[in-house]
Structure 1
Amino acid sequence: MAGIDDLPPLRDVISRHGLAARKALGQNFLLDLNLTSRIARAAGDLTGTDVLEIGPGPGGLTRGLLASGARHVVAVEKDARCLPALAEIAAAYPGRLTVLEGDALALDVSAHLTPPIRIAANLPYNIGTELLVRWLTPPDWPPFWQSLTLMFQREVAQRIVARPGDKAYGRLAILAQWRAEPRIVLDLPPEAFTPPPKVSSAVVHFTALPAPRYPADPATLSRVVAMAFNQRRKMLRASLRGLVPDIEDRLLACGIAPTDRAEQIDLARFCALARNVAAEAT
């Protein structure tokens, strides 16, 4: 056995196919198959599950997901240079890997996936946050996915799990924690990657909640939170002045002091304020 399966080591695959990582594509390859296996295990029980993977590169995590028992992996890869290496993995796991060439921000992959569905990816740094926001803000909830297991820069991971009062607490924490349960499951130093990035990384596992933690209109909540954190150093009576004319009264009605700042307000009170504002608009 060569690592997790009978396929060649990833360094050999990269050398044979000339897959030097490209900065323009946000590529930093994780070559240690023990680590990719740990990420696959962090995604949960993959038996009988389809898995969507974005940016597989030479296929380290892809191999981990398949070896962990994923029923079917749909891998979206923008870099055509990686396709021959991924084809070798598909040949080793007949009928269980579909590789789609294209931009993950533009492709509709729904036709290739059958529920239950999990998403697992070492996301390219340049599109990671945008993809996460899309997966957390579908028109309907629950979403098409059961869980997300995603790698980010550690700074982004800390923003996702931050709590009120934390320096990292902001819009991303509210968005992630309103509809999901996120937790950091693995930290990775720069030297784990080829080439080593300038920052540390972390894997975050999100479990989709059956319903949002607190009722709120998504668009209104998004607007309230965006206004509050866009001027996070200001008191809320100032940062939210343009939201409704009597903002101080509405803040007080929701248990929020007008002199508080956004980073002091928990999810429950942001949702209460969003409901208050939405009720005025109807």
Structure 2
Amino acid sequence: MNDPVQFLPPLRDVIAEHGLAARKGLGQHFLLDLNLTLKIARAAGDLTVGTTVEVGPGPGGLTRAILTAGADRLIAIEKDERCIAALAPLVDAAGGRMTLLNEDALKVDYRVIGAPPIKIISNLPYNVGTPLLVGWLEKAEAISSMTLMFQKEVAERITARPGTDHYGRLSVLCNWRCRTDYLFTLPARAFTPPPKVDSAVVQLTPYDEVPYPGRMDLLQRVTAAAFGQRRKTLRRSLKQLGVPIDALLERSGIDGSLRAETIDIEGFGRLTEALEALQGT
């Protein structure tokens, strides 16, 4: 199979030809180093089966790497109208292996986007990265893996463990539903334009069966309350859930004098189960 990259002009030329200056409002920072993009694509594993989904391909740097890494079926979702024409030659070079969707990634149903297994690979736009991730967690039963680039601080929050500085609501949601791995850091200078902070690539692999108690929708409520006032004890912060706090803590076996950052994933799962029982939902 021919590598589509060898037939295409350099990415900087593509950006110049189509006027693709990165837009701050879209959270865009382009990664043009093909060695780095190929490292990301290969970290996702075997792409020759199922469907690979990329969100926010921009001028196509990571897209080229995904195709070079052997993706048999790639669906790229791009909201920025300017990028569609720039990506058209890449669609042609892919020889039927790539489909380009000019849509809002937040509104796409990833459960029916293509044949399984579904692997998501993306240099996520800074301004919608976290909402996209939470949406994928809610539909994780349809996703095989997510290999994603975030700001380094967000990546550290995703993979943080209880009792550490970065442990918070996103840590709980991600690690309740997935195994999370911090893969590597990318310096700000690798991007065009360079952001103010470094980035990092993380991988989330959804569990076939969630090993912790609870429901995702209620876990979101519990963690929002607990970490929304993280300086307070759980006895105080969880009162906003609207159920008897003593009963909630007793059912879950959680010490109400503790703060959210000390509670592990299983503990939050038990709080979620207790909330469900007390609400009768």
TM-score by length of 1: 0.92
Structure 1 or 2: more helix by fraction:
2
1:63 aligns with 2:64: yes
Query: Is contact 2:4-2:68 (8 Å) kept?
Result: no
Separation (CA, whole Å) in 2 of partners of 1:269 and 1:109: 30
Q: How many residues align?
A: 279
Query: Is contact 1:13-1:58 (8 Å) kept?
Result: yes
Separation (CA, whole Å) in 2 of partners of 1:110 and 1:80: 25
Separation (CA, whole Å) in 2 of partners of 1:10 and 1:179: 36
In the alignment, what sits opposite 1:212? Answer: 210
In the alignment, what sits opposite 2:136? Answer: 135
Q: Which residue identity does 1:231 align to in structure 2?
A: Q
Instruction: Give deviations 1:111-146, integer Å, cap 9, x for gaps.
Output: 5511121000111111110000000013xxx52210
In the alignment, what sits opposite 2:223? Answer: 225
In the alignment, what sits opposite 1:76? Answer: 77
Q: Which residue identity does 1:68 align to in structure 2?
A: A
Separation (CA, whole Å) in 1 of partners of 2:39 and 2:87: 20
Deviation at 1:245, TM superposition (A): 5.3
Separation (CA, whole Å) in 2 of partners of 1:245 and 1:78: 42
Deviates more, 1:30-39 or 1:99-108: 99-108
Task: Select 2:185's aligned residue among 184, 187, 209.
Answer: 187
3-state SS of paired residue (1:143): helix
Task: Select 1:196's aligned residue among 178, 194, 197.
Answer: 194
3-state SS of paired residue (2:239): coil
Query: Is contact 1:2-1:8 (8 Å) kept?
Result: no
Separation (CA, whole Å) in 2 of partners of 1:233 and 1:155: 20
Flag the 1:263–1:83 CA change in 2: closer, same or farther, 3 A.
Answer: same
Query: Is contact 1:136-1:179 (8 Å) kept?
Result: yes
In the alignment, what sits opposite 2:144? Answer: 146
Query: Is contact 2:243-2:279 (8 Å) kept?
Result: no
In the alignment, what sits opposite 1:25? Answer: 26
Alignment RMSD (CA, Å):
2.0
Query: Is contact 2:248-2:278 (8 Å) kept?
Result: no
Deviates more, 1:176-185 or 1:251-260: 251-260
Separation (CA, whole Å) in 1 of partners of 2:41 and 2:63: 9
Task: Select 2:271's aligned residue among 270, 273, 278.
Answer: 273
TM-score by length of 2: 0.93
Runs of 4+ that moved beyond 4 A:
1-4, 108-112
